[in-house]
Structure 1
Amino acid sequence: MKEAKDLVPYGAWGQWLQESVRYSKSTPANQMHFYEEYGSSLSAASAGESLPDFQPVGNLTYTQASILLDVQEEEREQFMANSSR
């Protein structure tokens, strides 16, 4: 979504979303926010790099990932542990 938004002319994002995707404007906003928070860790982990501090955010559901954005950073590991049960 971030790459797509960067390619769309200024002011045309809403129209592009209506024509290109089947979800609300808040879903891409959440996806981009999530990528801003965890994108580098997710990209490195998917490339097979060993990250000792990588947290398994890729295993969360969309709803859990959205909630995680509002959880304080020091509480996120516990949240993810509870979510995987």
Structure 2
Amino acid sequence: MQGLAIVTDPNLPTNLGNETPAGTEDPILIMRLSDNILWESGIRTRAMPETLSGQLTVRLQVFGYLAFTAARYPQSTAEITGLTAPTF
């Protein structure tokens, strides 16, 4: 569709709108993915024998870091609403 990649996601609501009992409106999100920045570190592990040394216990820890921002260019994400759900 116009050269854009299309992704369907079951996490988007399909019952928007003001019809009863439930709406039939589907939202469409259009975005430039290169403007959304995601940073991820690798998984790190460490052993901390000092933490519980009074109980002769070692604490093992696995952790990683993650950061995401879509605020660099907020106008690069748009939502289109008011569309009726398609029938296949």
TM surpasses 0.5:
no
TM-score, scaled to structure 2: 0.19
TM-score, scaled to structure 1: 0.20
Higher helix share: 1
Higher strand share: 2
Which structure exhibits the higher relative contact order, with contacts defined as CA atoms closer than 8 Å and separated by 6 or more residues? Answer: 2
The structure with more radius of gyration: 2
